[in-house]
Amino acid sequence: MGEITTLHYLVVAAALLIIGTIGVLTRRNVVIILMSIELILNAVNLNLVAFSRLYGLHGQVFAIFVITDAAAEAAVGLGIIIAFFRNKETVNVDEADLLKW
């Protein structure tokens, strides 16, 4: 199995990023789309922390900022979901077409 280098972590992060992108592009349920966005943000965090092992602590500080952003994004996004569900009685993104005429 050999030594685990930063490249291994980068490959795992790339896999998580791609899985999150597939989730965003293919799912209809908007709650699961938000969860896929969280997956993408976690892939970015894994990259930052993996590089912080080489270049000092800055990557970890940025990872904490990314987690803060994720919390803000989740709060606002879920608020939008609740408002949308109250208006349309659905959580499917392809039925959100009020502006599409």
Partner 1 sequence: MNPVATPVFFYGLSIAAIVFAIAVITRKNAVHAALSLIGTLVSLAGLYLMLYAPFVAGVQIVLYAGGIMVLFLFVIMLVNLDQNIREIQFNKQWLVGLIAALSLGGLLLFVLRQGRSIFPVDQVAVLPEGSNTQMIGIALYGQYMLPFEIASLLLLVAIVGAVVMAKKRI
**CA-to-CA dists, residue 11 to 14, 37, 85, angstroms:** 5, 18, 37
* Long-range contacts at 69-76 (CB < 8 A, ≥ 24 apart): 69/41, 70/38, 70/41, 73/37, 73/41, 74/34, 74/38
Could you tell me the smallest distance in angstroms from the CB atom of residue 100 to partner 1? 14
Q: Which is nearer to partner 1, 4 or 99 (CB)?
A: 4
Residues of span 78-97 touching partner 1 by CB under 8 A? 78-83, 85-86, 90-94
* List 7, 87, 98, 100, residue binding partner 1 (CB under 8 A): 7
* List 15, 96, 98, 100, residue binding partner 1 (CB under 8 A): 15
Per CB under 8 A, 44 contacts partner 1: no
Instruction: Please state at what angle helix 30-55 crosses helix 58-88, rounded to 10 degrees.
Output: 180
- The 24-43 contact track toward partner 1, x by CB under 8 A, reads -xxxxx-xx-xxx-xx--x-
